[in-house]
Amino acid sequence: MYLTREQEKILAGEYGWAYAKALEIIVKVGGALGAEKLIPITHAHVSGISYTNIGDPGLEFIRDFYKGGVKANVYTTINPGCIDLLGSSRIISDEPRDKQLEINQYLERMGFKPTYTCIPYIHRRPVVDEHLAWGESSAVIFANSVFGARTNREGGPLALAAGLTGYTYYYGLHLLENRVAEVKIVLEDIEPDYYGGLGLWIGDNIRETPIIMNLKPSIPHIKLLLAAAAASGGHGLIVLNNLTPPKTYSVDDSAEKIHVDKKDIMEYTGSLSDIQGEVIGYIGCPHLDPFEFEELFNLIKTREKLKKDYKLLVSIPRIYADLYRDEILFLKKRGVDVVVGTCPIVSILRDKPDYIVTNSGKAAFYLKRLHGIDTVVAPLSNIIEILFGDQ
């Protein structure tokens, strides 16, 4: 791999062992993949910082870098941890609080922004062709597909190393030649409310990078679609016809055309009539943006209380704690468990429900596999109606 003189100095330890170790991680990963050089980035996003995911070995890994005296060299944001930063959740356990706060402290002292969200683009919006080093699959695919930025799906340690050094390896989706749609998905009258299920279908059935035709331009629903496809299929880019910025991708002339209608995706959604026993509704995977939060608030504000044995969990970015203080207090009085800077995928639930109903295909995918909970994917308005009843 070609390294500049400055990169060679970092790797040789002239700026300290911690920067050298960070660059070594990037060089070794890039070298194994066949990258010929490193490129500078402007924004890193570090996933894998939840204590319930990384445990003591991950905590020690982050602590060692902190003790090495390093600071972030580029704008670097942080994914959700495993605790509610408001400290008031009745659904998410507070048991790992001390360990999570220790991780948070090290990251913040290294100059990483205390965002604790899986939608870092609400803090800094990427631009077309900007090179990033992002962890968090739902953020990666959104950056590539909606903004036309360039990032691979990085693991937490590499994204951390990229934030410290300001470099990543030049490979994969950083190269235009790899941003090629090889399959055309033609939607046949699928409403945005069912895009979460559509994302799961794409992840399960399409291995290549697709381009989606006839997509209805609803960004909150497209966010759910992309997150679900990234979870179930590992996609880092899905070209969205008339939305993905031009000249950030190409379409293979021989791309196969596949028609998808509502009946194709119904097995990925399920039926709300199936739920019984203790039920948690979950909204906020990926974290809610302002438009989604306001839609949710408007659906709930005219209702009185949740039905017996039903709960509602809503996860939002840390920045909302002050911005929507009054709305959060109102929702809590209605029995809604609003959590900040976390989500149930990377945390511990106090009690395991019989069902979780959600509008997020990504949440359904991971909650079933990681927590063993039966899930149903449904439109937001239907979930609120089921949880609160006709009031």
For residues 324 and 257, give the distance between their C-alpha atoms in angstroms, rounded to a whole number.
Answer: 44
Phi then psi for residue 337, to 5 deg, are: -90, 100
* CA 373 to mean position of chain CA atoms: 20
Tell me, what's the pLDDT at 276? 86
**Whole-model pTM?**
0.96
75-78 vs 38-40, strand pairing mode: unpaired
- Residues 14-24 have pLDDT tens digits of 999 999 999 99
For residues 48 and 160, give the distance between their C-alpha atoms in angstroms, rounded to a whole number.
Answer: 10
| Tokens representing residue 320 in the block | 């909302």
Count CB neighbours of 261 within 10 A: 12
Section 44-70 average pLDDT: 97
Cα torsion angle, 61, 23, 177, 214, sign:
positive
Tell me, what's the pLDDT at 282? 98
Indicate whether 390 pLDDT > 70: no
- Residues 332-367 have pLDDT tens digits of 999 999 999 999 999 999 999 999 999 999 999 999
- Residues 246-267 have pLDDT tens digits of 999 999 999 999 999 999 998 8
The amino acid occupying position 197 is: G
Section 360-387 average pLDDT: 94
Section 276-297 average pLDDT: 95
Tell me, what's the pLDDT at 391? 55
Count CB neighbours of 281 within 10 A: 27
Strand, helix or coil at 114?
coil
Reported as a pLDDT band with limits 50, 70 and 90, residue 305 is confident
Section 307-324 average pLDDT: 94
Section 283-299 average pLDDT: 96
Indicate whether 147 pLDDT > 70: yes
Structural domains in the chain, sorted by start = 5-174 (3.30.499.10), 179-268 (no CATH), 272-388 (3.30.499.10)
Helix locations, 134-270, DSSP H: 137-142, 156-165, 195-205, 219-233, 262-265
| DSSP string over 240-298 | ETTTSPTTS-EEEEEEEEEEEEHHHHGGGT--GGG--SSEEEEE-SSPPPHHHHHHHHH
Phi-psi sector, 31: left (phi>0), alpha (psi -120 to 50), beta: alpha
Among residues 286, 234, 58, 66, the alpha carbon closest in space to that of 163 is found at 66
pLDDT more than 90, % of the chain: 94
Q: What is the DSSP letter of 131?
A: B
Reported as a pLDDT band with limits 50, 70 and 90, residue 326 is very high
Count CB neighbours of 124 within 10 A: 15
Q: What is the DSSP letter of 389?
A: -
Tell me, what's the pLDDT at 365? 96
Strand, helix or coil at 319?
coil
Tell me, what's the pLDDT at 132? 98
Cα torsion angle, 174, 240, 188, 229, sign:
positive
Tell me, what's the pLDDT at 4? 98
Indicate whether 309 pLDDT > 90: no
Indicate whether 272 pLDDT > 90: no
Section 101-126 average pLDDT: 98
Tell me, what's the pLDDT at 333? 92
Tell me, what's the pLDDT at 230? 98
| Tokens representing residue 81 in the block | 């941890």
Cα torsion angle, 333, 339, 345, 351, sign:
negative
